[in-house]
Amino acid sequence: MKTLSSYLCLIAMIALVFTSCSKDESTVPEDGTEKASLSFGAIVNDLAKTSGNKQSTTDDLPQCTDDTPAYVEIVLSQGGSAVVGSTDDPFRVDLVAGQVFTEEVPELELTPGTYSLDHFMVYNASGELIWVSPKGGVLADFIDNPLPLSINLGAGVKKYVDVSVLCYDDRDVNEYGYQFFDIDTNEAIEFCIFGNYCPPSGRHYPAEYSVSVWSGTSAAGTPLYTNVSNETGYYENGDFYAEPLCFALPDKEGEDNYYFEITLKSSDEYGEVTERVIRVGDITDDVVRTFFDGEDNLDYWHFREGEGCGDDSAPIFQDPESETEIYSTCAFPLNDSNSKALTYLEVQGNMVKATVLAAGVTPNQQHAQHLHGFDNGTNSTCPPAEADEDEDGFISLEEGLPYYGGVKLALSNEDDSFPMANASGFYTYERTFDITGMDLSWEDLSVVVHGRDVEGAYNATLPVACGQISNLD
């Protein structure tokens, strides 16, 4: 085991130096309630830089970084029951910009009582874990206040809590007293956004914008990112540029939802605009994965805002000012395939634009795809396993018909061919249809994608993915 002097060469502990915020402030809440407000704050004193007890080599020791802390994840409990956050889903609190204490959030306005801080981790803006407050384990002996930390809240008090932390190094994960799955909560999936703005002049500009992201299906979920702006500037030749924004999103087991709001901002390049939310909506981790063409090649999602600017690369978010109705589905695998197909239907009057983003389909093959449904108002559904009546191990096109119904609209190309998958098993399809005279009840329809190899031969009609359509609202 490393000696105490060795640890003093690498431990970064919280000094918690405050002025007016260093003590509890007794205040009377404006609404007359008896709640207390809780915040956490820190200034890091890197003892590795100041200790005179240096070793001749520190190659095998964790190194503190100069990363700027951006947010903390916490778990508060009372009487053994989680109150704010949980072990499986800690609660995120952003740090005040340019400061070393957390923002005031309604979730930390609590009734008076005694609480236990059971989890405290600090991350940089990229979502990388940089400091940990030990909860038991070897390293708990080297700080004044290891977790769990008891917090007493009185009525009408604004309380700032001192929390001691250590630099995080995953080689010493067990010594922090956290089980590994608890430390490694940041399995992430990346999603990138780029945008263009077109003012009335019709010229295309790289857009300046900010993005907020929540975990869940609405802004009532846990904040992940708040008002993050893309980087813009001018090259030496005077050309204006704007960088895309990329977000690391938590990707846990099962389906994850993320809610986005994108705000258009004014720019030195294209001038003043009415700064407003231009896209909203929730997407799943399956939607995010459709932007990966292979394991490493990540495509940006591209929005285009303004008259004559063109369409978004895929209508995964809604324009809150648009009258277009958007219907969607994620078609999930059938017949033991790995195929998925996100389908969006943008309906305005007698016109419908269909977009399909497919992944995991048979490479280098055409894939038939249709909207299926019934004429009698029955809701189209995807066939269950028992639809395989001949028990050959596959649900054929015919065996699925009693569940999803006949073809209502073929999502084909204008020459009646179907989209061709690339060598990685991906394809993107777009086409606008005139549906004058067609009676389509969108939410009674399903999307079915066909085609896969069976025993060395390509079966072009075999269903490989199916999804029921619903309104995106």
**CATH number, domain at 434?**
2.60.40.200
Nearest partner of 302 among 346, 354, 244, judged by Cα = 244
| Strand pairing category for 157-162 and 351-359 | unpaired
Alpha carbons within 13 angstroms on the beta-carbon side of residue 389 total 9
The domain of 207 spans: 189-321
Within this chain, do residues 329 and 443 fall inside the same structural domain, yes or no? yes
Quick one: CA dihedral 338, 299, 128, 149, positive or negative?
negative
**Residue-level pLDDT at 79:** 87
What pTM value is reported for the model?
Answer: 0.54
Residue 444 is classified by DSSP as G
Residue type present at position 70 = A
**Residue-level pLDDT at 142:** 66
Within this chain, do residues 274 and 402 fall inside the same structural domain, yes or no? no
Within this chain, do residues 74 and 89 fall inside the same structural domain, yes or no? yes
Within this chain, do residues 155 and 209 fall inside the same structural domain, yes or no? no
Measured CA to CA, the distance from residue 356 to residue 419 in angstroms comes to: 10
**Residue-level pLDDT at 372:** 96
φ, ψ dihedrals at 299, nearest 5°: -90, 145
Within this chain, do residues 140 and 209 fall inside the same structural domain, yes or no? no
φ, ψ dihedrals at 106, nearest 5°: -60, -25
Within this chain, do residues 264 and 167 fall inside the same structural domain, yes or no? no
**Residue-level pLDDT at 294:** 59
Within this chain, do residues 283 and 225 fall inside the same structural domain, yes or no? yes
Nearest partner of 35 among 210, 155, 198, 207, judged by Cα = 155
Within this chain, do residues 312 and 376 fall inside the same structural domain, yes or no? no
Within this chain, do residues 167 and 299 fall inside the same structural domain, yes or no? no
Within this chain, do residues 27 and 125 fall inside the same structural domain, yes or no? yes
φ, ψ dihedrals at 281, nearest 5°: 145, 165
**Residue-level pLDDT at 53:** 31
- DSSP helix/strand/coil, 228: strand
Cβ atoms of 404 and 334 closer than 8 Å:
no
**Residue-level pLDDT at 451:** 97
Tell me the pLDDT tens digit for each residue of 98-118: 676 888 899 999 999 999 999
Instruction: Tell me the Cα Rg of the chain.
Output: 27
Task: Using the 3D structure, point to which of 272, 288, 321 is the last residue of a domain.
Answer: 321
**Residue-level pLDDT at 55:** 29
Structural domain count of the chain? 3
**Weakly modelled stretches of the chain, pLDDT under 50:** 1-32, 43-62, 180-181, 185-186
